[in-house]
Amino acid sequence: MTLATGSRLRALLAGCALAALAPLAAAAEDAAAASDHIILLINPNSNEKTTQSMTEIAATATGGVTVEGKSNEGVPPLLTTPADLAAALPGVVRIGVEAAKDDRVGAIIVAAFGDPGLAELRAEVDLPVFGIREQAFREAAEGGRPFGIATTTPDPGLAEAFRQTAAALGYADQFRGTRATPGDPNALMAKSPEELDAALAEAVQASIADGAEAVIIGGGPLTASALRLQPQFDIPLVIPVIAAAQAAAEAVKAD
């Protein structure tokens, strides 16, 4: 082999190596871009403490994807009726539409168990949008298991909305209904964590008695309580904020 021929061969091999590495480099760049994306968690109520708590807990379930929280304005600190959810809807859509203009945002979570504004926001933005109720239903129903809801909001209109959601998602035969703590939910949420946990645990037990093999803890503000309660039960307590955070992180990483 002549020196010139050897040089040409080495150049050809180097070119082939670079060509083979190019797709890997592109994939690495795409992964880096995806990791730069964040998830926006919209709290449809106005409670900043709840927003912070849900955001911090959601961030533990994203595999490193950053979660930023934003509270709604001009609405109650706790949404307990269909009217409250309806009042929260415009603010959720406004926050989400504004967030979609930020190139950092790769997915949005609507973090109230009524999913206010979920459909409307999906129609307005070109980003994946996850509702914590919808995603919790999907997780609870996995494998065809029967499931129920334990919550602190006894409003009959909300219970009917939960039933309708189960039917719309194809889980009517698996849904075992809703069990709520007694009394005023605002008063209960103002009590100590121990009192809240005790009341919610009774609702979970009632749902298990109804035949549920997984129980959704129905409410974004109940996320911390759900985490505290899980060790008391052998069946899974589905935490809506975490279910939505995991789905949102998968969407961001797949982008």
Look-up of token digits 């949008």? 129
> Looking at residue 35, what is its pLDDT?
58
> Looking at residue 90, what is its pLDDT?
98
* pLDDT value at 2 more than 80: no
* pLDDT value at 29 more than 50: no
Which regions of the chain carry the CATH code 3.40.50.12500?
135-239
> Looking at residue 5, what is its pLDDT?
45
> Can you point out the beta strands (E) in the chain?
38-43, 67-71, 105-110, 129-131, 147-151, 175-180, 214-217, 237-238
Mean pLDDT of 237-252: 97
CATH topology of domain 35-132+243-254: Rossmann fold (3.40.50)
Alpha carbon distance 115, 99 (integer Å): 18
* pLDDT value at 34 more than 60: no
Kindly give, in sequence order, each residue whose CB lies less than 8 Å from that of residue 46, ignoring residues fewer than 6 positions away: 71, 72, 73, 74, 75, 76, 77
Residue 155 near residue 135 (C-beta atoms within 8 A) = no
Q: What is the pLDDT of residues 195-218, one digit of tens each?
A: 999 999 999 999 999 999 999 999
Q: What is the pLDDT of residues 157-190, one digit of tens each?
A: 999 999 999 999 999 999 999 999 999 999 999 9
* pLDDT value at 18 more than 90: no
What is the torsional sign of CA 226, 230, 234, 238?
Answer: positive
Which regions of the chain carry the CATH code 3.40.50.1860?
35-132+243-254
Alpha carbon distance 163, 202 (integer Å): 21
Q: What is the pLDDT of residues 67-96, one digit of tens each?
A: 999 999 999 999 999 999 999 999 999 999
CATH topology of domain 135-239: Rossmann fold (3.40.50)
Alpha carbon distance 162, 179 (integer Å): 11
* CB-facing half-sphere around the CA of 192: CA atoms within 13 A: 3
> Looking at residue 33, what is its pLDDT?
45
Alpha carbon distance 192, 56 (integer Å): 20
Alpha carbon distance 138, 156 (integer Å): 22
Task: Lowest mean pLDDT of 22-31, 56-65, 72-81, name the range.
Answer: 22-31
Q: What is the pLDDT of residues 135-153, one digit of tens each?
A: 999 999 999 999 999 999 9
Beta bridge partners of 108: 40, 129
> Looking at residue 36, what is its pLDDT?
87
Q: What is the pLDDT of residues 106-128, one digit of tens each?
A: 999 999 999 999 999 999 999 99
> Looking at residue 198, what is its pLDDT?
97
- When the pLDDT of each residue in the chain is averaged and rounded to a whole number, the result is 89
Residue 41 near residue 60 (C-beta atoms within 8 A) = no
Residue 170 corresponds to which amino acid?
G
